[in-house]
Amino acid sequence: MTQAAIHIVDDDPDIRDGLAWLFDSRGYVVAAWDGGPVFLDAAKALLGQWGHAVVLLDVRMTPLSGLVTFERLKALGCPWPVLFLTGNGDVGMAVAAVKSGAWDFLEKPFQDNELVDRVEQALAAASALSDADLEVHRLKQALVSLSPREREVLAELIRGHYNKNIADHLGITPRTVEFHRAHIFEKMGVSSAVELAHKLGRLQSMSIHPLSKM
């Protein structure tokens, strides 16, 4: 599947083609799908290599509704923001979808510029989220690369201990502490203990604290 910035999922060919033309004319790479099953199959084929994209998803479709398609997309771990396109009678369902994690919904008929603005906002959010995910991944990899002694020194550093105290506690010289400290800072991409603490704070939402096994 070619990586697209906009995925349009709608079983109405007129709406699908119209939206594809709109975003193509604005310079976006577009993929149009005539229903949930084929779209989900294509998403599965990416194997987690999601890239940045937004999904425009019609609420009423067959054989899979937009809501079911959305739930199955979430189950794949796909991070793409989903913008539901709704008719007059579907607003309640769209609101429920937003509460369940959808990005937003837009009621038909809508202005082209309003739709494009919403999509651009969603793309910007997706990009920011992806950058944050990459930073978290880099920090995890940096932690894994630390030696057992470096992990011990790191645990002391983030508790605010000075080199001499760390040396006394670990039974090593202050010079050795400074050596390990320099290596830790280099691997973690920081220049101070305060910056190091801030970086590690980003990992606190993990189910297991990154320093819990030290």
Tell me: the pLDDT tens digits for 175-202? 999 999 999 999 888 898 888 887 887 6
At residue 208, the pLDDT reads 42
- The reported pLDDT for the residue numbered 48 is 65
Q: Are 59 and 35 in contact (CB under 8 A)?
A: no
Instruction: Note the pLDDT tens digit of each residue in 110-147.
Output: 899 999 999 999 988 888 776 667 677 678 778 888 99
Positive or negative, the Cα torsion across 50, 56, 61, 67? positive
Q: Any idea how long the chain is?
A: 214
Render 36-59 in DSSP notation, one character per residue.
Answer: HHHHHHHHHTTTT---S-EEEEES
How do residues 73-114 score in pLDDT, each as one tens digit? 988 878 899 999 987 677 777 788 888 888 888 888 889 999
What domains are defined for the chain? 6-129 (3.40.50.2300), 146-201 (1.10.10.10)
Single pTM value for the model: 0.63
- Model pLDDT, residue 137: 67
Q: What's the Cα-to-Cα distance from 41 to each of 4, 38, 57, 191, rounded to whole Å?
A: 15, 5, 15, 46
Q: Answer whether residue 67 shows pLDDT above 80.
A: yes
